[in-house]
Chains A and B, each alone.
Chain A
Amino acid sequence: MNASKREAIDRLLKMVFRATGLVTIGLLGGIFFMLLFNSIAFFAKGNPIDFFTGSQWNPGSDAGNYSILPLLASTGFVALGSMMIAVPLGIFTATFLSELAPDTLRTILKPVIEMLAAIPSVAIGFLGIVLVGPAIARVFGIQNGLNALNGSILLAIMALPTIITISEDAISAVPKTYKEASLALGANKWATLFQVTLPAALPGLIAAVMLGLGRALGETMTVLMATGNAAALPKGFLDSIRTITATIAIEMGEVPYQTTHYFALFAIAVVLFIITLLINLLGEFFANRLRKFHA
């Protein structure tokens, strides 16, 4: 092969790789602008103040109430609730797996946890309707177990594999020298774990929680099936709710093209997008601050 031909191939390959990189950026930008332009149309037509301050999402009414608050609160409830369950459970499981479990148990547990991630969200939704919902209804003595608590439990189950896997990687990656340093100073196993190993793994643990939270915020099918579908401001975890994602999934297929309602769905999508973006940035910021203390 002669030199000019080789250079041509060299250039071509460079372009191919650059193009693949740019596609990702293009996709992200494209989605963002599509959401943005459509939601600008909503704010131009509709009532932006009511969108943020109102208390009802009721597109069917004559006036057409498009307040994001009930949906945002719903999303917030299930996301927060699921993290309250999944974060401690996930991090403790990860710690157990990487620091305490005997090898035989670890080799069984790890694939089982990874299989948990492979269960389709629809199936988890079934679980919510058939099992978790009735259980909640019995325990709390209420009519209907399809509520925020149900959604939180299911989303926790779905976020667990992500949180466990990434946390375990983070904990296992803590250098052995840290542990030795701590033990050699006369610290016991638990002090070493809680004061050295876990703090050293914290950037990774934050990343794990953020990814888990992202999963919980974005999940649609499970919450659609198991949280009762009530677009009203929830007062507690036993109220039925409807998240931003579920609202979009339910209404987008029915809504007439380019109506206020149509644009409103884009507007709530943008809000969700911005929230997930902020959470990611925040997680990254804290993780970077902690990384300063690492070699």
Chain B
Amino acid sequence: MDHVKLSAHNLNLFFGSKQILKNINIDFGENQITSLIGPSGCGKSTLLRCFNRMHDLSADARIEGTIQLNELDVYDKKNPVTQIRKRIGMVFQKPNPLPKSIYENLSYGLNIHQFPKDEIPGLIESALKESYLWDEVKDELKKPAVKLSGGQQQRLCIARTVVLRPEVILMDEPCSALDPISTRKIEELILSLRKDYTIVIVTHNMQQAQRISDKVAFMYLGELIEYDSTENIFKNPRQELTKNYVGGHFG
């Protein structure tokens, strides 16, 4: 593999006394798209949320092991979580634009991270262009973001993440609430983002995982069962469980 951008070592996660993730070891290569697949409840979204420390919000979550972004220890108390989250962006399952205008949805993060005021309009324009949204919204940037269609909202959420120039983008089933056409657009967008970002995406959709990812990680009951190139996982899995899952025998 090329340069490792993001990695988890001996990662265990507990909610209360219940162990959700069991000794996960995984490396994500720079400028690669990695899909996390597995049946519902296997812990793939939970794993995803470890990388940008979203579990900090739940008081009963306990994490052991390390997560590294380049050489940086993500869970080291010295590293402010706000900076981590600026470098590791996240797109959620259901499009969740803030109850603000389209423009403000993008300027929000920029203002939070104190980007120079005069650069903000330009940054917003280029992020919207990168997210294939500019042509559709350029004349109505003041419109409430919720007035956009579901697919547009999700592209806005991606633009809102992209505008901060993160290094990694985590996506938690970003297309599961969208129709096939919107899904297609988002997939094209994700593929075009690969050249600049490292992307980790949770998906339930096998075809989607095959279409967009370089590598695929299959998880089952909180364990990482198999992690390999997309081709190997789908054509030539080494584990019986993986074979059954990608073959549609369960899940």
A134 surroundings in chain B (CB, below 8 A): none
Within 8 A of A (CB), among B84-124: 84-86, 89-90, 92, 94, 96-101, 108-109, 112-113
Q: Decide: A186 near B98, CB < 8 A? Known: A191-B112, A293-B144.
A: no
In the assembled complex, B57 has its CB within 8 A of some CB on chain A: yes
The residue among B82, B90, B98, B101 with the most chain A CB atoms within 10 A of its own CB is: B98
The one of B90, B100, B146 that contacts A184, using a Cβ cutoff of 8 Å: B90
B100 surroundings in chain A (CB, below 8 A): 199, 293
Check if B108 sits within 8 Å of A185, measured CB to CB: yes
Docked complex Cα distance between A181 and B144 (Å): 16
Minimum CB–CB distance from B17 to chain A (whole Å) comes to: 19
Minimum CB–CB distance from B103 to chain A (whole Å) comes to: 12
The one of B101, B108, B113 that contacts A293, using a Cβ cutoff of 8 Å: B101
Minimum CB–CB distance from B45 to chain A (whole Å) comes to: 12
Minimum CB–CB distance from B86 to chain A (whole Å) comes to: 4
Closest B residue, CB atoms, query A292:
B144
Closest B residue, CB atoms, query A177:
B96
Instruction: Specify the main secondary structure of chain A where it touches its partner.
Output: helix
Check if B85 sits within 8 Å of A184, measured CB to CB: yes
In the assembled complex, A196 has its CB within 8 A of some CB on chain B: yes
B83 surroundings in chain A (CB, below 8 A): 186
In the assembled complex, B52 has its CB within 8 A of some CB on chain A: yes
Docked complex Cα distance between A292 and B90 (Å): 26
B interface footprint on A102-144 (CB within 8 Å = 1, 0 otherwise): 0000000000000000000000000000000000000000000
Q: Decide: A186 near B86, CB < 8 A? Known: A178-B96, A180-B54, A181-B157.
A: yes
A187 surroundings in chain B (CB, below 8 A): 82, 108-109, 112
In the assembled complex, B190 has its CB within 8 A of some CB on chain A: no
Minimum CB–CB distance from B109 to chain A (whole Å) comes to: 4
In the assembled complex, A195 has its CB within 8 A of some CB on chain B: yes
Q: Number of B residues contacting the other chain (C-beta, 8 Å)?
A: 30
Check if B92 sits within 8 Å of A177, measured CB to CB: yes
The residue among A182, A183, A294 with the most chain B CB atoms within 10 A of its own CB is: A183
Minimum CB–CB distance from B107 to chain A (whole Å) comes to: 11
In the assembled complex, A295 has its CB within 8 A of some CB on chain B: yes
B147 surroundings in chain A (CB, below 8 A): 292
Minimum CB–CB distance from B131 to chain A (whole Å) comes to: 15
Q: Decide: A186 near B90, CB < 8 A? Known: A195-B108, A293-B144.
A: no
Docked complex Cα distance between A188 and B100 (Å): 18
Minimum CB–CB distance from B49 to chain A (whole Å) comes to: 9
In the assembled complex, A87 has its CB within 8 A of some CB on chain B: no
The one of A178, A185, A188, A191 that contacts B99, using a Cβ cutoff of 8 Å: A178
Q: Decide: A181 near B85, CB < 8 A? Known: A186-B109, A195-B108, A295-B146.
A: no
In the assembled complex, B164 has its CB within 8 A of some CB on chain A: yes
In the assembled complex, A216 has its CB within 8 A of some CB on chain B: no
Check if B57 sits within 8 Å of A181, measured CB to CB: no
Q: Decide: A180 near B85, CB < 8 A? Known: A186-B112, A187-B109.
A: no
A199 surroundings in chain B (CB, below 8 A): 99-100
B interface footprint on A210-237 (CB within 8 Å = 1, 0 otherwise): 0000000000000000000000000000
A-B contact pairs, 14 of them (CB 8 A): A178-B98, A178-B99, A181-B97, A181-B98, A184-B52, A184-B90, A185-B86, A185-B160, A186-B112, A187-B109, A191-B112, A196-B108, A293-B101, A294-B146
Knowing that A181-B92, A181-B96, A184-B54 are A-B contacts, what are 7 other residue pairs whose CB atoms are under 8 Å apart, sorted by A's residue number?
A180-B54, A180-B92, A184-B92, A185-B108, A187-B108, A195-B108, A294-B146
Report the 4 A-B pairs with minimum CB-CB distance, sorted nearest first.
Answer: A186-B86, A177-B96, A186-B85, A185-B109
